[in-house]
Structure 1
Amino acid sequence: MECIDEGLLQFCANKLKLLHLHESVISLNSVAMPSETVPSDNDLAKLLRLEEKEFTRLQMLLENYKQLNTQTSVHFAEDKDGKLPVKTFLEYLDYEKDVIHVKKLEEKEYVALGSFFFWKCLHGESSTEEMCETLMSAGFSPQLLLSLVLSVWLAKEKDMLHRTQSVCCLHAALSLLSKMTVAIDESWDSQSVSPWWQQMRTACIQSENNGAAFLSAHVGHSVTAQITDSIAEKKFSHITIGADTDPWEALSLDTEYWKLLLKQLEDCLILQTLLLSKVSKKASQVSSLQTEPLGRLSVKKLLEGGKGGIADSVAKWVFKQDLSLALLRLAQKREESESEEEMQQTESHFLAESVEDQPGFETVLELLRLAYQQFPCSLEMDVLHAHCCWEYVVQWNKDPEEARFLIRSIEHLRCITSAHVQHGIALMMWNTFIVKRLSAATYLMDKVGKAPKDRLCRRDVGMSDTAMTSFLGSCSDLLQTLMEADIRSDEMQLPVLDTEDAWVSVEGQTSLVELALEQKHIHYPLVEHQSVLCMLLYTIMKFSLKSVKPLSLFDSKGKNAFFKDLTSIQLLPSGDVDPALLSVRHQFLTKLVSALVQAQASSQKTKDNPEETLNVSVKDRDWPALVLDLAQHLQVNEDVIQRHYVCELYNYGLDQLGEEAILQVHDKEVLASQLLVLTGQRLAYALLHTQTKEGMELLARLPPTLCTWLKAMDPQDLKNVDVPITTTAKLVDKVIEHLPENHGQYSVALNLIEAVEAMS
């Protein structure tokens, strides 16, 4: 007889054993088990060793999660109902020296193998005890079986959470495996942690199926406590003096680790549930950046995500949902509110002020409140606003056309109450995302000497002309916030950054808020100087001003100081300004005032005639005050600019606004003489240019000096000639009121009263 290859023989024998095992598993799974009664809440609470209140909370958290966790479970053809073809089974396993090893498998293959063994067991349709004994005697280690059971439980989350019997089945499986002598090493050092339970905790820590992980950890904790109790009984009934091993203490240490993990998993579950919640948005407003799905959380990810990881994940969700700041604040108010009545008032106020109709908002509100409660440090409002601010600016930087992202970023920035944090975040935003683009915009506008066309804006600054206009406004707001924060920080203590007890072991990058607090203080005059330029650029773009080179409004010192590090000391313009430069600045400001009033007039027309479209909205800011502020910074006489503003308002027939603006003028005598000319132009148009019979007759009755004066007036400068005579009569009264009697034109003004009365 020929010599038979020993290796081949062994190989065949091993495969045969695996084939027998495959048959045994199929046979066990085909035995119908009597269907168990569904356990009551009370039974489950006892099984998990939870008080009624704790169990109710567990149910509530899992229910919230189940309702929102709509992602489909992963199903594979080969693991349908725990079936696994024999060929695949043989490919997955190795048999060597009476021990079975699982080959290196993909996660889905590993789950398929686990399902083949334990799917029916976890459904109560097959005997867990017999299955474990069969697998153990075939050569599986308890550790491997534990790993396979958990892989099925965690991967098939939806099925497991749906069936309450599965909790009992998992408990039974864990109890069985734990009691197997090899599983918990009796000689384990008492001061250390049992590797057996550590294996299970590691699986829970790494799992992104938060509901299943949380529930399995409760089961693990319960089984650990059960074993601890039984060991304690043995220990006290057979006390051995001087024994070195002390597994009871080791298990007690495990119990503490379970408690910590349960807290972490609960936190993670609450956070994940929040991140799964949605409010419906108008499709037209959704950017493609907001449709990218959020990654799922695990305790491991949170532990490695650094101190700001929790706030960062919530900020990403806030961005995806584009949640209003009012909603974030409302959840906080609900968290703090004592009385229900107070809460209802706040909510009705929110609904009144929130322009967004957000279905799903009640769910989100409740989940947010839960998250705030769970993370009083990580989701403290300043921390959350800081992360939201950063998330929005990061996303804006990816697509600068989405100007609203930068606007929202600055809104979050302004909500930060700690001046130190606000200062740091604003400075980081400026350095990281803003200054380079602003510099490009400035040099482009200076080169073309006007508001540049769309094509040039896209080429040089990377955004359209409308986006660039908004960007410049946001730059101005950012610097304003930075300056305010700098002033406020002098009277404010540095914030204390705490972490929740369950998350003190977090590792990873420095948190955003810590980075913000490390920023150097700004040099206030330099920021103010930069802020003036921003506002100038914004006005040029907003009002489409022509023949303006923004840098020509500054001397060489002023130009050199732009775009420098805001914390550095720079040589800035001081003292008297060159008259030629003052003249250029004055021209610019008068041009700006005229453009502003033109925009105000067209917005008035749009109000009266809704069909007309508005070119420039002036409701976004207090523009008249801003122009005066610019005049002050540019060292141009503010009263001259205010008088020009009043005259322009009357010029455009905005008499009511003009009357209000007069109150801020100091030299009312000069203003009155300017308005006298304007009144003359209006009357000259009404009497001389309309050429009506009544007008001619009236003209003949007027004093000759007044007629001569009116004929010298040129109404062509008037921007609005259709002002009712009754309105002009009020203007004449204003002129008389502010013109002294000894003024050279006083008699003309008095004659105008008669003329206006006759005309009306």
Structure 2
Amino acid sequence: MFCHFMHLKSASFWTGFESKDQDPQAVLPFWEQLRAGCQQSHAVGAVYLAVQAGCIAAQSLANSHTTTPEEEENAVDPWEAVCLDGEQWNLLLRQAKDILLLNTLFLCCTSKPCHSETSTTTSIKELLEGGRGSIADCVARWAMHLWLPPAMLQISKDGNENGDELKDSIQPEFEHITAPLKVVLMSFPFSLEPDMLHSHCSWAYVVQWNKDPEENRFIERAVDHLARICNPHIQHGVSAMMWNTFLVERLSATTLLIDKVCKAPKDRLCRRDLGMGDKAATVFLSCCCELLQILLEADIDRDEAEIPTLEVEDAWAGAEGPTSITELALDQSGVHYPLVQHHYVLCRLLHATLAFGLRVKPLSLFDAKGKNAFFKDLSTLPLLPSGEMDPELVSLRQQFLLRLVSAVVAAIPSGTPSITQGSTDQKLPGPWPERAIELALHLQVNEDFLKQQYAFELYNAGHDLLAEEASMAVSDHGVLASQLLLVAGQRLCYALLHIQTKDGMELLARLPPTLCTWLKAMVWLNIQ
């Protein structure tokens, strides 16, 4: 077969130069068709062998050809065509090798069911016509297909980068993927550069989530990849694109729905107006908060960071097609930091409302300027609230935050007094106390008053270890002490009047009448 291939190559090549009118730089149609067929084929193994044979044939012809005196007189130089033909074969060989590595990786699978549409192999032509981001896009869709841990996409050349995280992220079903993935990442140092790859992964996941918003794990993974982008210019651009394309309209609908019903909407209403259930809506709002936080940090860091230069491997420099996600990200306009922060506060309020089932009209916590600024393009400069707020508005905000603190404490499981706030053994209170304080700072509410209420609520609920930790952050201990005096009275009342042990009754008999009257009043006191 190889001899037949060489015979065809030799005969067809020289036939093209029998005519004096033939362009010496021309590449014969037969070989163009053969290379075009190799570029289109998904049978990458056969393509690689065929291209290797073509390279050998081209080299053999180049070594055996000598220019005749007649060709010199006619200024015809077939050697140039031979060289051009050989260069095209060599380029195709490098592309065939790369596509063989990629498709070998894409054929890797796990024993677990996949989480997205079926992954397919690709061809050289598809990558060339898919633009400079086509390789990263293919790998991103493959990673989503297998639900690959994000840390696995940052394998360094020496295997030491992110070592601890990578070791923890490699589950048994992914161990056989590590080696081919590392080879592919090393073979595409530019196209699969970590920021480029995480950008495309983040976009692929959020597109998949947009098709079915109920599948909230996709938007969570999208934000996870977004947070792993190191360059603030790219991170800023991808965040802004995700916000404008997929999130802002749903956030607007969510805000209007909650403001209409004045509380956390039921699952039926969420599905009707938002296209997702109440639990999925809660996750959606949490991801909006995380994305806006990432955008705020990137907006600060990009002032000191250089704009990256996007390169591509030599073999794929001729790719033409759609602009890559990373290139689009770098073209995004800057955002107005206070406006992003304004939206972040709204998202956090909505998230708290759904997470704890609070009653509130979220838009009532903002003045006219604040309401009008919502859902504007983040690059614009609308009027925003400034200066001192109306005391009535601040009072409404304080009442909401107090209800949030009470709801957080009420959600802590009882009977776990030994669990501290920093423990990983329980889900609550988690970050919510800090989030409430953060909201207080943005909403011009006295944060120390909120800290006092939180410590008091914890003591009142019997979470003494958590309360001790929380009380250390309180500035005005005098007010807190007066509140805790009531808690101490209730506990003493319960110990003396309800349990009624012999020692307790003797102690009660020795107490002053005024103190006894106060303790008995604790029975009817409902501490709020």
Listed as ranges, the matches of 1:86-105 within 5 Å are none
- Paired residues of 1:194 and 1:250 also in contact (CA < 8 A): no
Change in CA separation of 1:184 and 1:596 when aligned onto 2, cut-off 3 Å: farther
Change in CA separation of 1:655 and 1:231 when aligned onto 2, cut-off 3 Å: same
CA displacement, residues 335-384 of structure 1 (integer Å, 9 cap, x when unaligned): 134xxxx58xx667634x33x7332x233111111111111111000000
Partner of 2:409: 597
- Paired residues of 2:419 and 2:466 also in contact (CA < 8 A): no
1:704 CA displacement: 2.9
Q: Which amino acid aligns with 1:207?
A: S
Does residue 679 (structure 1) correspond to residue 495 (structure 2)? The answer is no
Partner of 1:705: 514
Does residue 667 (structure 1) correspond to residue 489 (structure 2)? The answer is no
- Aligned to 1:297, the other structure's residue is in SS state coil
Change in CA separation of 1:240 and 1:553 when aligned onto 2, cut-off 3 Å: closer
Does residue 209 (structure 1) correspond to residue 81 (structure 2)? The answer is no
Q: How far apart are the structure 1 equivalents of 2:418 and 2:219?
A: 28
Change in CA separation of 1:240 and 1:470 when aligned onto 2, cut-off 3 Å: closer
Change in CA separation of 1:496 and 1:527 when aligned onto 2, cut-off 3 Å: same
Change in CA separation of 1:504 and 1:702 when aligned onto 2, cut-off 3 Å: same
Listed as ranges, the matches of 1:423-572 within 5 Å are 423-545=236-358, 547-572=359-384
Change in CA separation of 1:278 and 1:607 when aligned onto 2, cut-off 3 Å: farther
Length-normalised TM-score, structure 1: 0.66
Q: How far apart are the structure 2 equivalents of 1:453 and 1:700?
A: 54
- Paired residues of 2:223 and 2:290 also in contact (CA < 8 A): yes
Q: How far apart are the structure 2 equivalents of 1:537 and 1:244?
A: 79
Listed as ranges, the matches of 1:35-434 within 5 Å are 169=1, 171-180=2-11, 184-187=15-18, 188-232=22-66, 235=67, 241-281=72-112, 283=113, 286-287=114-115, 290=116, 292-329=117-154, 332-333=155-156, 335-337=157-159, 350-351=166-167, 353-354=168-169, 357-359=171-173, 361-434=174-247
- Paired residues of 1:582 and 1:635 also in contact (CA < 8 A): yes
Q: Which amino acid aligns with 2:56?
A: S
Change in CA separation of 1:703 and 1:605 when aligned onto 2, cut-off 3 Å: closer
Change in CA separation of 1:714 and 1:696 when aligned onto 2, cut-off 3 Å: same
1:702 CA displacement: 1.9
The structure 1 segments of at least 4 consecutive aligned residues displaced by more than 6 Å after TM superposition are 605-608
Looking at both structures, which has the greater relative contact order when contacts are Cα pairs under 8 Å and sequence separation is at least 6? Answer: 2
1:279 CA displacement: 3.0
Q: How far apart are the structure 1 equivalents of 2:204 and 2:32?
A: 36
- Aligned to 1:336, the other structure's residue is in SS state coil
Length-normalised TM-score, structure 2: 0.94
Q: How far apart are the structure 1 equivalents of 2:72 and 2:104?
A: 51
- Aligned to 2:97, the other structure's residue is in SS state helix
Change in CA separation of 1:553 and 1:659 when aligned onto 2, cut-off 3 Å: same
Q: How far apart are the structure 1 equivalents of 2:465 and 2:47?
A: 68
Equivalent of 2:442 in 633, 658, 682 = 633
Does residue 618 (structure 1) correspond to residue 435 (structure 2)? The answer is no
Q: How far apart are the structure 2 equivalents of 1:441 and 1:491?
A: 36
1:676 CA displacement: 1.4
1:172 CA displacement: 1.6
CA displacement, residues 414-457 of structure 1 (integer Å, 9 cap, x when unaligned): 00011011011001101100011111111111111111100000
Q: How far apart are the structure 2 equivalents of 1:680 and 1:601?
A: 24
- Paired residues of 2:493 and 2:519 also in contact (CA < 8 A): yes
1:685 CA displacement: 1.7
1:669 CA displacement: 1.4
Change in CA separation of 1:241 and 1:318 when aligned onto 2, cut-off 3 Å: closer
Q: How far apart are the structure 1 equivalents of 2:3 and 2:523?
A: 101
1:624 CA displacement: 1.1
Q: How far apart are the structure 2 equivalents of 1:318 and 1:182?
A: 44
1:520 CA displacement: 0.8
Partner of 2:453: 644
Q: How far apart are the structure 1 equivalents of 2:486 and 2:497?
A: 16
Q: Which amino acid aligns with 2:172?
A: Q
- Aligned to 2:488, the other structure's residue is in SS state helix
1:500 CA displacement: 0.9
Does residue 586 (structure 1) correspond to residue 411 (structure 2)? The answer is no
1:697 CA displacement: 2.2
- Paired residues of 2:205 and 2:221 also in contact (CA < 8 A): yes
- Paired residues of 2:369 and 2:384 also in contact (CA < 8 A): yes
Partner of 1:109: none
Q: How far apart are the structure 2 equivalents of 1:375 and 1:646?
A: 55
Q: How far apart are the structure 1 equivalents of 2:416 and 2:298?
A: 36
CA displacement, residues 70-91 of structure 1 (integer Å, 9 cap, x when unaligned): xxxxxxxxxxxxxxxxxxxxxx
CA displacement, residues 132-153 of structure 1 (integer Å, 9 cap, x when unaligned): xxxxxxxxxxxxxxxxxxxxxx
CA displacement, residues 200-228 of structure 1 (integer Å, 9 cap, x when unaligned): 21111111111111110001111122222
Does residue 695 (structure 1) correspond to residue 507 (structure 2)? The answer is no
- Paired residues of 1:483 and 1:524 also in contact (CA < 8 A): yes
Unaligned runs of at least 5 residues, structure 2? none
- Paired residues of 1:378 and 1:500 also in contact (CA < 8 A): yes
Greater radius of gyration (CA) = 1
Q: Which amino acid aligns with 2:478?
A: E
Unaligned runs of at least 5 residues, structure 1? 1-168, 609-613, 720-760
1:717 CA displacement: 3.4
Partner of 1:52: none
1:565 CA displacement: 0.8
1:601 CA displacement: 3.4
Q: Which amino acid aligns with 1:322?
A: W
1:695 CA displacement: 2.6
1:249 CA displacement: 2.5
Q: How far apart are the structure 2 equivalents of 1:607 and 1:293?
A: 45
Length, aligned pairs only: 521
Change in CA separation of 1:217 and 1:181 when aligned onto 2, cut-off 3 Å: closer
